[in-house]
Amino acid sequence: MANAIAIQAFNKADSILPTLDSIARARGSNSYDLFILQDGCSGSNRTEKYRAAWAATTQAIELWISVSRDHFASVCFDRSDRNNGPYRTAELLITSALEKSKSVIFSEDDVIFECDAVEWFERALAHPMFLRPNVWAIAGESKFFDSNRHVPSDADVCRALKVAQTRNLIDRFVCFDFLPSSCFATTRDKWAEFGKTRGTTNGDRAVVERCRGEAKLCFWPVVARCRDIGMHHPLGYSVRWKGLHHKGFKNSYIVSGMLQGMSDELSELTFEKDALLTEFNVFWEQLESYKNC
């Protein structure tokens, strides 16, 4: 039984194609079943506004599959008859993929995978920390090395790379009590615990509330394996509800593709116990201060 990669689509042809291309380039993805579910346009509050872009996205995905199908173990592209919205679509997609696989890597249509992203998810899925019952999912993005709206200088980036390389941060993970909405991996048994919640209106926030109320965790890389590039796409969900100039912004300036080397073991990043991370702590505090100016 092959494992699954599940991609949620709607009306952004110009962002889903880079997402799909990055997944095809990721090492090991050729052994996966690829599932793509495009939400329907009919019944949306903005059916007429989105119709042309939705049709163009359908055509773009079909063309991409025609030339990329052989890269994967199999490819399944389904389209909903009516608009379900992003939360219900994600639930339907992940649930369907897990009917055929024990685990799934889920992504929205505006996430770029690094070449080792699939390997990261595989390593994390097998790690004893993830196997604990209180850990629900694995993130591909990182909360570290993210400058938000600011643009780090070349010197800042070089220093961050040096710290990440010398401290082997590419092999480190942390556990936080919240799940990302845009990209994560999970298993059939764990999805059964929170999948229905994820499919409700504002389900991404509802899952986070459950995590914090029930002491559930998500397994995050210190160095990002995936980047969300679509928070300000004019046809995206964030812009629809928050406006084109909303404050949400992700800007990962260090990702795994910029680093070399990887050991066989993932280990938890523990600031309080690891004296070697003093330099990184100071550096991170400086960046946090810089970002909040």
Residue 145: per-residue pLDDT: 85
DSSP assignment of 203-272: HHHHHHHHHHHHT-EEEEESSBSEEE--TT-TTSHHHHHH-TT-S----B--BGGGS----S--EE--TT
pLDDT greater than 60 at residue 286: no
Rg, the chain, Cα only: 19
* Amino acid code (one letter) for 151: V
pLDDT greater than 90 at residue 59: yes
Q: How many residues does the chain have?
A: 293
pLDDT greater than 80 at residue 24: yes
Q: What angle do CA 262, 264, 268 make, to 5 degrees?
A: 85
Average pLDDT, the chain: 86
Burial class from Cβ neighbours inside 10 Å (0-12, 13-18, 19+) for residue 107 reads buried
Residue 71: per-residue pLDDT: 96
CB 71 within 8 A of CB 32: no
pLDDT greater than 50 at residue 276: no
Q: CA torsion sign, 150 to 155 to 112 to 91?
A: negative
pLDDT greater than 80 at residue 275: no
> How sure is the predictor about 155, in pLDDT bands with cuts at 50, 70 and 90?
confident
* Amino acid code (one letter) for 238: S
Strands (E), 50-182: 74-79, 103-107, 111-113, 135-139, 172-176
> How sure is the predictor about 16, in pLDDT bands with cuts at 50, 70 and 90?
very high
Residue 153: per-residue pLDDT: 82
pLDDT tens by residue, 218-255? 999 999 999 998 544 445 455 454 555 435 455 788 89
pLDDT tens by residue, 173-223? 999 999 999 999 999 999 999 999 999 999 999 999 999 999 999 999 999
Would you kindly state where each structural domain of the chain is located, as residue ranges?
Answer: 4-291
State whether CATH 3.90.550.10 applies to domain 4-291: yes
CB 253 within 8 A of CB 144: no
Residue 230: per-residue pLDDT: 56
In the three-class reduction of DSSP (H, G, I as helix; E, B as strand; rest coil), residue 45 is classed as coil
> How sure is the predictor about 77, in pLDDT bands with cuts at 50, 70 and 90?
very high
